[in-house]
Amino acid sequence: MSANIIDGKAVSEKLLQNLKQEIVTRSKQGIRHPSLAVILLGSDPASSIYVRNKRLACEKIGVKSVAYDLPVTTSEKDLITLIETLNDDANIDGILVQSPLPDNINKDVIFETILPYKDVDGFHPKNIGLLALKQPQLRSCTPFGVIKLIEATQLPTQGLDAIVVGASNNVGRPMALELLLKGCTVTICQRYTQNLQQKIELADIVVAARGKPEFIKGHWIKPGAIVIDIGINRLDDGKLVGDVEFDVAKTRASFITPVPGGVGPMTVATLMENTLLAQKLFAQ
Ligand code: GUN
């Protein structure tokens, strides 16, 4: 058996085209284009690529992107002042501060400074809380993108056993809440989890967000499972691999995402969806 490959690039392109169309329609009705402020501190190569992709997506679909490329030495106080200015700016719908941030800046303080209504990353405690309470508004981009990929399989999810490997604030935890909303019975694993292999062997949906190359072995995958790989790890030889041993896993799964070209493009597309949603829900 060989799994169907879930083409994240194709699913994200379709979403972006739909968003573009909606922005054009709204523009014809006299509504301004949505706008996203993207703040980048320093020049970390990976962060610079992510930010470039986000800005390119904005350009592609008619979201106005406002760039703040700040020195890595920027103080927490100055960053907070900038965010507060953007919070008060009625022409800005979304604010994104690219992480990781330098050590002198407390990322939790920064993410809480962004008004929940402009928190298009979906990281603010209020937005995570709304997701936990089954009233999602601005949803964390990567988990929201994963749900769209699972929906693209057209398989029913109610009652399935799902396992999330990794319990980070930005990915693993909101991912588990999203799967709960889809009617799954959810197990969240973290570094202290015992008998991980046995747990994965029972799962109908495996979402890997551990950040370790090929940490989840292919032969652990239950035949017919859906496998979603959020990991992006660069090996010494330059090759990009996920958190799942893809070549073996794909002989067992029913559907599997590749790395690259799986979850990555969805994170950008859902960021665009959130930016338009923020404008629709909250712009005066
Ligand atoms: N760094 C890596 N992924 C992300 C993301 O989705 N949002 C932000 N703000 N920073 C990131």
Q: Is the CB of 171 under 6 A from ligand 1?
A: no
Residue 28 CA to ligand 1 center (angstroms) comes to 32
Residue 140: φ, ψ to 5°: -55, 130
pLDDT tens, position by position, 105-123: 999 999 999 999 999 999 9
Distance 99 CA to ligand 1 centre (A): 5
Report the predicted TM-score, pTM, of the whole model to 2 decimal places: 0.97
Distance CA 143, CA 162 (A): 13
Ranges of each domain in the chain = 30-115, 141-264
Q: Is 270 in the pocket of ligand 1 (CB under 6 A)?
A: no
- Assess whether 54 carries a catalytic annotation: yes
Ligand 1 atom, smallest distance to 47 CA: 1
Count helices and strands (H / E) in the chain.
10, 11
Q: 141-264: same fold as 30-115?
A: yes
**pLDDT tier at 129 (50, 70, 90 boundaries)?**
very high
Q: What is the CATH number of domain 141-264?
A: 3.40.50.720
* Test site for ligand 1: of 52, 105, 120, 121, most ligand atoms within 8 A of the Cβ: 121
Catalytic residue among 93, 98, 118, 229: 98
> Is the CB of residue 141 below 6 angstroms from any atom belonging to ligand 1?
yes
pLDDT above 80: residue 284? no
* 3-class DSSP state of 161: strand
- Centroid of ligand 1 to alpha carbon of 250 (angstroms): 28
pLDDT in tens, 40-90: 999 999 999 999 999 999 999 999 999 999 999 999 999 999 999 999 999
* pLDDT (average), residues 197-219: 98
**Mean pLDDT, the chain, integer:** 98
Instruction: Count the residues in the chain.
Output: 284
What pLDDT is recorded for position 1?
Answer: 79
> Rounded to whole angstroms, how far apart are CA atoms 184 and 186?
6
pLDDT at 125 exceeding the cut of 90: yes
Tell me, yes or no, if 93 is annotated catalytic. no
CA distance readout (Å), 143 to 31, 78, 124, 218, 246: 29, 30, 15, 22, 20
Phi, psi torsion values for 165, nearest 5 degrees: -100, 110
| Cβ-contact 128, 173 below 8 angstroms | yes
Q: Residue 165's pLDDT band (boundaries 50, 70, 90)? A: very high
Q: How far apart, in whole angstroms, are the C-alpha atoms of residue 101 and residue 124?
A: 16
Could you confirm whether 121 is annotated as catalytic?
yes
43 CB-contact burial (10 Å; exposed 0-12 / middle 13-18 / buried 19+): exposed
- Ligand 1 pocket residue status of 119, Cβ below 6 Å: no
| Res. 140: pLDDT tops 80 | yes
Average of per-residue pLDDT across 159-175: 98
Whether the predicted pLDDT of 226 surpasses 80: yes
pLDDT at 110: 98
Over residues 217-222, the mean pLDDT reads: 98
User: Could you identify the atom of ligand 1 that is nearest to the CA of residue 121?
Assistant: 7
List the catalytic residue out of 93, 118, 119, 121: 121
Report the Cα 138 to chain-centroid distance in Å.
Answer: 12
Superfamily (CATH) of domain 30-115: Leucine Dehydrogenase, chain A, domain 1 (3.40.50.10860)
Q: Which atom of ligand 1 is the closest one to the Cα of 97?
A: 9
Q: What is the pLDDT of residue 186?
A: 98
What DSSP designation does 218 have?
A: G
Closest residue by CA, ligand 1 atom 3: 99
